[in-house]
Every structure is written in structure tokens, then in C-alpha cells.
């Protein structure tokens, strides 16, 4: 199983890369070679096989406040592995989100960036949030037996670190996990379909309500209770993410 920043890096670069190569691609000149691998843990992902590393203080300023989110930080580790260094670059933090897939057998790595409408036209393979969402309905059949990672950045908060918080799945036929910043949600194709039908129905009955588009209705996806009755009441208790 890949660590999430490792899978992201391979997909971004289109193939597996050794740690030295990944580090060189970050453009960072000051790094260290780790002599005693077993005693060194990456402060971000917690991996224990670092061959090269960058000092944590070189990557984050004193005002950085998300330390508690890092897997290895509680051990007071001061180094970050090449994959995490690569994944948290400013360039990647500007993404709205991404889908990464790695074929476990063929090792074909793909990254689909999720970007704004204008950028989606410019970037080859780039999707808007809505297009990504639509893709989820056909994703499972296309991607049987593959590693998959889907993550979205926090709404309206450009520049937060989110890639290391993503979940890596081996995909199942109709469902998978995805991450919105530090929250993990379960995507169930059938449940989502029924909810979208309900939204369409509501739109028809209430044409004056604000323009509806697709929604991730996040808490609904993780709840066991079926939606019923007056949708407006149900709607109030749901956490939504407009796409
Ligand atoms: Zn790491």
C-alpha cells in the first residue's frame, strides 16, 4: 500500500520515482541523506524508510498551525520525506482537488487535477468540480482493482495543506472514500443517485429557490437513515458542498 503523498507524487509525475529523483524535482537544494533509516520517521506521513529528507523548519514558518494533523509530528521528528516535500508544494496546494489512480498491476499512474472552470479548459485532463462529480458515477467500472485517491481542498481556503490527509482506497464496485481536507466521506453511488433525484424533484416543486446544482451532501453519505418527508427540513441538517 502506498502512503498518500507517495501515490500523489507518482501520479503527478506519471511513474514511480526513487526518493532522490523526487527530491530533485522539488528544486530544493538543501537536504540530508539519512544514514540510520529505522530511527527516522517522516514528520508528515510517518514513513520509516527515508533515504533522503528535508528539515521540517525549512518547509514551514513559525506561524504554521496545523502540526497536529501530521502523522509523525508527535514523535518530535524534524525531517520530511521527499514525497511529502513534493506533495505540499505551493503549486499543489492551489488545486481545488484531484483524483489519482494507480493500476496496481500495470503501475500506470494518472493524476486528474480538479480546478476552476477557466483552468479546466487550459489543463489537459483537468476537470471542474462538477465534472469530477459526474465522473464518480462511472469511475468504479473503469477503475476496477486500482488504487484510488480523491481529495478536495477546503472550500474558500486556498493554500491549506490537504494532500497528506487524503485516503488511499483499493476501489470497490460501487463505493469509495474521498477526503474534503481533513474529513473523510464515503461515496455510495446508489445513495447519491437517489439523493440527486430528490434534489431534482425539489427543484421542480420550488422553482424560485436559488439555482441548484449538484451537491455533495456529505453527512447524508455517511448516515444509515434514508431521506424522507419534507426535503427542506432534511436539508437544514445536512452539510453541503456546492460544486
Ligand atoms: Zn512523508
Domain ranges for the chain: 17-87, 90-188, 189-241
Measure 207 CA to ligand 1 centroid, in angstroms.
Answer: 49
Measure 94 CA to ligand 1 centroid, in angstroms.
Answer: 20
Burial class of residue 6 (count of CB atoms within 10 Å of its CB; 0-12, 13-18, 19+): buried
Residue scoring higher pLDDT (3 or 184): 3
Measure 75 CA to ligand 1 centroid, in angstroms.
Answer: 14
Measure 40 CA to ligand 1 centroid, in angstroms.
Answer: 11
Measure 164 CA to ligand 1 centroid, in angstroms.
Answer: 8
Short-list 10, 86, 6, 88, CA closest to 46: 6
Predicted local confidence at residue 156, as pLDDT: 57
**Confidence grade of residue 237 (pLDDT, cut at 50, 70, 90):** very low
Measure 30 CA to ligand 1 centroid, in angstroms.
Answer: 17
Whether 216 shows a pLDDT value over 60: the answer reads no
Q: Retrieve residue 102's grid coordinates.
A: 494507480
Predicted local confidence at residue 150, as pLDDT: 86
Measure 197 CA to ligand 1 centroid, in angstroms.
Answer: 41
Predicted local confidence at residue 81, as pLDDT: 96
Is 147 within 8 Å of 7 (Cβ atoms)?
Answer: yes
Measure 55 CA to ligand 1 centroid, in angstroms.
Answer: 12
Measure 238 CA to ligand 1 centroid, in angstroms.
Answer: 34
Measure 41 CA to ligand 1 centroid, in angstroms.
Answer: 8
Whether 212 shows a pLDDT value over 70: the answer reads no
Residue scoring higher pLDDT (224 or 57): 57
Predicted local confidence at residue 234, as pLDDT: 42
Measure 121 CA to ligand 1 centroid, in angstroms.
Answer: 32
Q: How many CA atoms lie within 13 A of 121 on its CB side?
A: 2
**Confidence grade of residue 158 (pLDDT, cut at 50, 70, 90):** low
Amino acid at each position: 500500500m502506498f502512503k498518500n503523498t507517495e501515490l500523489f507524487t507518482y501520479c503527478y509525475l506519471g511513474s514511480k520515482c526513487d526518493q532522490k529523483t523526487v527530491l530533485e524535482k522539488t528544486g530544493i537544494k538543501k537536504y540530508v541523506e539519512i544514514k540510520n533509516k529505522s530511527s527516522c520517521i517522516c514528520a508528515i506521513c510517518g514513513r520509516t524508510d527515508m533515504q533522503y529528507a528535508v528539515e521540517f523548519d525549512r518547509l514551514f514558518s513559525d506561524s504554521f498551525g496545523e502540526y497536529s494533523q501530521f502523522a509523525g509530528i508527535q514523535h518530535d521528528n524534524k525531517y520530511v520525506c521527499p514525497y511529502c516535500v513534493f506533495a505540499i508544494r505551493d503549486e499543489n496546494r492551489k488545486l481545488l482537488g484531484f483524483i489519482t489512480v494507480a493500476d496496481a498491476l500495470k503501475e500506470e499512474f494518472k493524476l486528474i487535477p480538479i480546478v476552476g472552470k477557466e483552468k479546466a479548459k487550459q489543463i489537459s485532463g483537468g476537470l471542474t468540480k462538477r465534472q469530477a462529480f459526474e465522473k464518480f458515477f462511472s469511475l468504479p467500472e473503469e477503475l476496477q482493482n486500482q488504487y484510488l485517491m480523491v481529495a478536495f481542498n477546503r472550500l474558500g481556503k486556498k493554500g491549506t495543506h490537504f494532500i497528506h490527509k487524503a485516503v488511499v482506497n483499493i476501489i470497490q464496485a460501487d463505493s469509495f472514500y474521498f477526503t474534503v481536507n481533513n474529513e473523510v466521506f464515503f461515496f455510495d453511488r446508489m445513495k447519491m443517485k437517489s439523493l440527486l433525484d430528490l434534489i431534482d424533484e425539489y427543484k421542480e416543486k420550488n422553482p424560485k429557490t436559488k439555482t441548484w446544482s449538484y451537491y455533495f451532501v456529505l453527512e447524508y453519505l455517511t448516515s444509515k437513515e434514508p431521506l424522507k418527508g419534507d426535503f427542506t427540513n432534511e436539508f437544514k441538517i445536512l452539510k453541503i458542498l456546492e460544486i
